[in-house]
A and B are shown apart, each in its own frame.
Chain A
Amino acid sequence: GAVVSQHPSRVICKSGTSVKIECRSLDFQATTMFWYRQFPKQSLMLMATSNEGSKATYEQGVEKDKFLINHASLTLSTLTVTSAHPEDSSFYICSASAGNYEQYFGPGTRLTVT
């Protein structure tokens, strides 16, 4: 089956610093990647959709200048949380799609901002 990895799996950073999370499709080319955020005991909320080579489309209420998304190749998308604050602490999950209705999810990244 299709495999999607995320790195790092866990990260702790200080308030005010920036953190980059990578999402890779290991065995297929992902024309579209999605980024989700999940707070404890809650569901996944879509943050943005990124297509290779073009700007990401952000969901309402998600600050594009705070959550920078780059999808430079068909196998890699990155999410950078800039000037992180404690309220950004969350579980960030990416998914990748080859263009059909299947999305393959990464294992998630636990971000803790102190």
Chain B
Amino acid sequence: SQQGEEDPQALSIQEGENATMNCSYKTSINNLQWYRQNSGRGLVHLILIRSNEREKHSGRLRVTLDTSKKSSSLLITASRAADTASYFCATAGATNKLIFGTGTLLAVQP
């Protein structure tokens, strides 16, 4: 399966700062989802944005979607040490299969 690209691959910030991760994909989508994964653990679903939506908020998370550029961004505001994890975008087409991006490793320093 073709994967989406995420950048940066790794991001290190101080507690309280904002973290922005970007995701680009190649095919048309039905929706795009963001997940978090702590080291060696399963995935936690963060947010889903549909192809006809441009922006979505959930708590400290803000996701944007630009289907013309085939890209999405995840913004985490006022980061905490507990936000340290890997973050993946995943796109879903008509078949409900998820194609995951390459991931961003976020480290939030206390």
| A interface residues (Cβ-Cβ under 8 A, vs B) | 32, 34, 36, 42-46, 49, 59-60, 91, 93, 95, 97, 101-108, 110
Contact = CB atoms under 8 A, between A and B. Distances in A.
Contacts, number: 55
A93 B43 contact: yes
A107 B41 contact: yes
Nearest to A40: B40
B103 A43 contact: yes
B42 A106 contact: yes
A94 to B, nearest CB: 9
A34 B102 contact: no
A45 B40 contact: no
Q: Is the interface of A mostly helix, strand, loop or mixed?
A: strand
A95 B88 CA distance: 15
Interface stretch (B11-19, B73-81, B92-100): B92-100
Contacts of A101: 30-31, 48, 92, 96
Contacts of B45: 102-105
Q: Is the interface of B mostly helix, strand, loop or mixed?
A: strand
A42 B104 CA distance: 10
Given A49-B97, A101-B92, 4 more contacts: A46-B100, A101-B48, A101-B96, A105-B45
Contacts of B102: 42-43
B71 interface: no
A45 B96 contact: no
Nearest to B42: A107
A46 B42 contact: no
15 contacts: A32-B96, A43-B88, A43-B100, A45-B3, A46-B1, A46-B97, A59-B1, A97-B96, A102-B48, A103-B96, A103-B98, A105-B43, A107-B41, A107-B42, A110-B40
B89 to A, nearest CB: 10
Contacts of A45: 1, 3, 100
